[in-house]
Structure 1
């Protein structure tokens, strides 16, 4: 397909599926009629489309149309706030391709629709995309927030949970404590 643009508006295009020019706006009507009346021009355009476009499409299709890169999903609060204070939870979805992604917030298994704000799709400049979907909320004791992400690169959704840090166990996990004690014991010099 060849597109012709004037003043940032497409007005006529060559449609290689039918081998003719198609009008996009009224401005392109006379141009399309004129070019469609020139049969050797149409044959040349169709030959170029068959030789170059279809061949090149087949060569790059696996890198573009069929390309899939799974997103990285991170959830964090915009500010560190105590329980029962207004906060903004951020679900950062980054590094995915293609650009279609669905991001939803849940609180205790129920979808949250009010107070949800999105940055929209942002290109990263490396053929991947990112978006941030925020939930305005006042976290309460015992609540679990989940960011639910669906993307064509995955057969199942990515879900990342967030609980207020006041509800998390204090201190490092027991295994980490054990490893720390073992390492300290090994680092002591004999008496």
Structure 2
């Protein structure tokens, strides 16, 4: 996925991270213990949004060997120690006014910027679903069956799928799979209806999705075995006629070429 503007990495927070790493690495003994040969230093920058951008909060966390020792919260406006190990770091960073001001500014320069980029690239992305209906087994009137409404390749994941029988919504016997991620920024879902079709019944899968200006409706009509056989015979005869027609054209063209030679 390509966006016109890239997401930003907090520059002021990188300064703070480097400062803390240098301070910790330059200290051979921490709280009376030898520094371990192997260590893990983690930095997490988190942006929280409530009701869009009505309320925005920036939280940065500094973690050493799985233990958070320092945190910046935009609601507080300064660095605070989480453990005694972080007290000197909090005092040092809070005394660096340029670093502190840059960190505070990340609420707008990073969180708000990235929200706008993500809103255009992700939150506004729309892909219309494909909807098909199929019975679980060969149709037979007055016999229990299962209709499957397959809704595939849509984004975002919010979707509403309903079943109707002769324009009346069916709520009993409806079973749905969880939302399935396809791995390519699209989703799919199967919504099944247990039913016993009667002659003339019309079943409709009704799909509502943010990408659609109006709902998609796909119908499935109950047919007797004789009607279904007649329809299949008609389709088969039509296809067979096309095949013979094509063969006739080919033979005619070849015979004309032979006469010319």
TM-score exceeds 0.5: yes
1:131-190 deviation digits (Å, cap 9, x = unpaired): 100000011111111101011101011111112353443421887576445324313455
CA distance in 2, matches of 1:80, 1:139: 12
Taking the TM superposition and a 5 Å limit, the aligned residue runs for 1:113-152 are 113-152=171-210
Query: Distance between the aligned counterparts of 1:142 and 1:121, measured in 2?
Result: 32
Could you tell me how far apart the structure 1 residues matched to 2:56 and 2:140 are?
64
Higher relative contact order (CA closer than 8 Å, sequence separation 6+): 1
With over 3 angstroms needed to count, the CA separation of the structure-2 counterparts of 1:14 and 1:176, relative to structure 1, is closer
Give the ranges of 4+ consecutive aligned residues of structure 1 lying more than 6 Å apart after TM superposition: none
Distance in structure 2 (CA, Å) of the matches to 1:46 and 1:32: 9
Kindly tell me the number of residue pairs found equivalent between the two proteins.
169
1:36 aligns with 2:76: yes
TM-score (normalised: structure 2): 0.55
Aligned to 1:182: 245
User: Which structure dedicates a bigger proportion of its chain to helix?
Assistant: 2
> Compared with structure 1, are the counterparts of its residues 37 and 54 closer, same or farther at alpha carbon in structure 2 (3 Å cutoff)?
closer
Q: How does the TM-score come out when normalised to structure 1? A: 0.73
C-alpha deviations, 1:45-79, integer Å up to 9, x for none? 43222122222222332220100000000100111
Structure 1 gaps of 5+ residues are: 1-12, 22-30
In structure 1, the residue matched to 2:27 is none
Matched, 1:61 2:119: yes
> CA 1:146–1:19 in structure 2 vs 1: closer, same or farther (change >3 Å)?
closer
Cα distance in structure 2, aligned partners of 1:87 and 1:142: 16
Distance verdict in 2 for CA 1:53–1:173, change over 3 Å:
farther
Matches of 1:42 and 1:107 in 2, distance apart? 64
2:107 is aligned to 49
Q: Is the 8 A contact 1:146 1:161 kept in 2?
A: yes
Aligned to 1:111: 169
- The unaligned stretches of length 5 or more in structure 2 are 1-45, 50-54, 60-70, 80-93, 257-261
RMSD: 3.2
